[in-house]
Chains A and B, each alone.
Chain A
Amino acid sequence: MPDDDAIRCDACPVLCYIKPGRLGSCDRYGNHEGKLVRVEPHVVLDRALSRGQSIVPFLAGDREWDGNIVAGQETFVTAIGAGTTYPDYKPAPFIISSEVKGVDMVTVVTEGIFSYCGVKLKIDTDRHLGPEQNVVRAQGEPVGHVTTSEYGSQMLSLGGVRHLTGGSRHEGTITCETLLSLCNGKPVDLSVDEGASVTVQAGKPPIVDSVCEERMRVGCGSATIGMFAKQWFGKVDEVVVVDDHITGVLSEHQAGKLLGVPETGIKMKGRRSTPGRYFKVAEPGTAWGGTNISDPLSILQPFEPKTAWAGLRLLMVSTTGEHSAYFELDEALHPVEKDLPLVLLESVARIKENCEPALCTVLFMGGAGGSLRAGVTENPVRLTHSVRDALTRVTCGGAPVYLWPGGGITFMVDVTRMPENAFGYVPTPALVAPIEFTLKLQDYADLGGYMDHVRSLSSIAADEGRRHVSARADNPWPLSPSKPPEAH
């Protein structure tokens, strides 16, 4: 039977058959993985100490019209599912007042439609993802570009209005889809022109060319020498820490010199920067230490016969400890690979241990520059001024944002600090993101707010809930007046 997977809802006499992933005719009950669930259009953050608690009472409200909100001071109404009143010169869908420590607070809750938006992606890897400025693609469509290499990570910039609406329709659609997935914490496959393929997901390790990145490097090759020189001293004659950025050589490095490590006659390829520090020992890649080499000996030239000696012990290791090899020189001064001695195994393990887990970080960046502000106040520029003057706090699904200095209200938010599935889209294409403005009631009146649309939290019955999620302990409480708006 084709409808075997449908379930029957008995919430009302319509008795809908509901297929998995779909809603009944009321749009309120749905089939979530075979279970009948109430789905709420509107997320309310309950202040709680931990995540993971979730209670789901339901309300009698019409999602378009009325904003019945749970009572109580410790509840913050997020904009998720609030809907929008675009074109935005109507009052925002929900304007909620609540008294916090004797001060009447107002939260203007709306969902913004962001054509001017994108994500800044930090991918913790030293592997070369592709040349700066090169195009990043999803499903073959250009959705962004490679920006800079940062410490232990590669930065990509995805989205932006030029990809969303400036290119072909298909480019815009795929860009929107990519941003939406990333912001809602789903994995996305990206490829960089002349570079790597990478699977990214907020808060998860990146997968570069089918290899899951586990750890960030402990430091550059030179820093690694500095950190571990003492632990190597006496156990090995020479250490090369292979790094695409700066490869370190123990015997030549300041740290080795201070310990009295004798010269070994080692000769590196690449360009020497300062003693024991080499640039460009190889090409960037996804192998040893973010280079393209799989054979570490390929970055060495023959040892200097006058200085080197047979039996010389050489450790080569990458900056994450992920790759390592141990050699001893034979009579002809050729390195011969041997098993890593136990004493060195420890130091390699320690490099690994000191590397932080490699993650992908997704920051949503959007600008509430134009008409969205008009849903908050009849005089939109005053909202910008108010945010600028730190009288109004901006949150995104209850999560703190970083506000860019300068004009407009351009902000960034870590999507992993927001409730799940906080983002939506419209076919424009553009992303729909929640945005809340919280300020004192008096300040709201002063900036020309829609005072006649303000609703009081306490005036509404407690049993009419929306979707409750626990607040994250590491997020500042959005209504707490003790924290400055930019705190994060």
Chain B
Amino acid sequence: MATRAQIQLLPDGRRLHMHDGPIDLIIEAFGPRTQIQAAYRSASARFVTVLDELCSELSLLRREPSADALPEGVIAQRMTRAVSPHSTIAFITPMAAVAGAVAEEILLAMTTAAKLDRAYVNDGGDIALYLDAGEEFKIGMVERPDGPSLFGTATLTADLPVRGIATSGWRGRSFSLGIADAVTVLAGRAAMADAAATMIANAVDLPRHPSIGRARACDLAPDNDLGERLVTQHVGELSPDEIAAALDAGEAMASSFLPHGLIHAAALHLQGHTRVVGATLPCATLNAPTAERGLVHA
């Protein structure tokens, strides 16, 4: 209900934070002040019913998409559309695209109500973007939060067909069938990026490898959409050959998405190794104090 959701400006006075149940959104709009206010009002009004809409069809959204039973909600339909192209290849449910689909919906609420220069809705790392002509976003990139990693920025310009960014991996909040530390996907829309990132991260795998700990999803969370499928709980140290093999599998999956326009680009990370598929953005490595990194973490 409307009273359950929490919506507030962050202390910086610029970003809006919206929270309801498992949904956490960070939103920022750029443009004239009155337009930003209109956008935030519209986003808030839209947000308060999102969780209830999704939950009313939750059991359907936790099953593989079927032409016989289409959901009614606009977000639920977007989720289903995003995963449908993948459902012939491997197991996937609309829940794989929930974060991206919600981000898209809120972004849409903002851009229909206001004339903005640019805007983003970040749903736990799955991001929907709006760019007016000539605008651009600088995107900070971190390979993995807990290890030595490259750190840089990518510039996303309005002329590129990318309005969605999503990241998936076994370390994330959702379960993964694969072992990728992180797969980040750039795609036309956030829900598409979300679904594709899930698929690619699932594909980065070494089936039955002894140093990978797995558990049945239902043993961890009884109502999870993955049911009895084995989800990754732990990944031991892998040899360079094994890492390459796992990344090969993910890369093959990602490459197959390119000709269909399902993704624009993907970056696959596993134990310090990175594979990039598709067109990349203009990147700049930050002028990092490299002497401070490496093995010395603290």
Interface residues of A (CB under 8 A from B): 2-3, 6, 11-19, 22, 24-27, 60-62, 64-68, 83-84, 86-89, 112-117, 165, 169, 366-372, 374, 380, 426-428, 430, 455-456, 459-460
Contact = CB atoms under 8 A, between A and B. Distances in A.
16 contacts: A3-B218, A12-B55, A16-B221, A25-B22, A60-B19, A65-B26, A68-B11, A89-B286, A89-B288, A114-B298, A115-B297, A165-B295, A370-B296, A370-B298, A372-B297, A426-B146
B210 interface: no
A17 B298 contact: no
Interface in B163-202: 173
B151 interface: yes
Contacts of B19: 60-62
B221 A25 contact: yes
A112 B51 contact: no
A60 B17 contact: yes
Contacts of B10: 65-66
Contacts, number: 132
B222 interface: yes
Nearest to B271: A427
A172 B24 CA distance: 36
A89 B292 contact: yes
A371 B293 contact: yes
A13 B52 contact: yes
Contact of B221 (A17, A89, A366): A17
> Chain A interface mostly helix, strand, loop or mixed?
loop
A24 B222 CA distance: 10
Interface of B: 4, 6, 8, 10-11, 17, 19-22, 24, 26, 51-52, 55-56, 58, 124, 142, 145-149, 151, 173, 218-223, 236-237, 286, 288-289, 292-293, 295-298
Contacts of A62: 17, 19, 24, 26, 124
Contact of B51 (A6, A13, A89): A13
A84 B145 CA distance: 8
Nearest to B125: A64
Nearest to A1: B222
Contacts of A115: 295-298
Nearest to B146: A426
B298 A112 contact: yes
B51 A17 contact: no
A13 B21 contact: yes
A483 B13 CA distance: 36
Contacts of B237: 169
Contact of A22 (B4, B58, B221, B236): B221
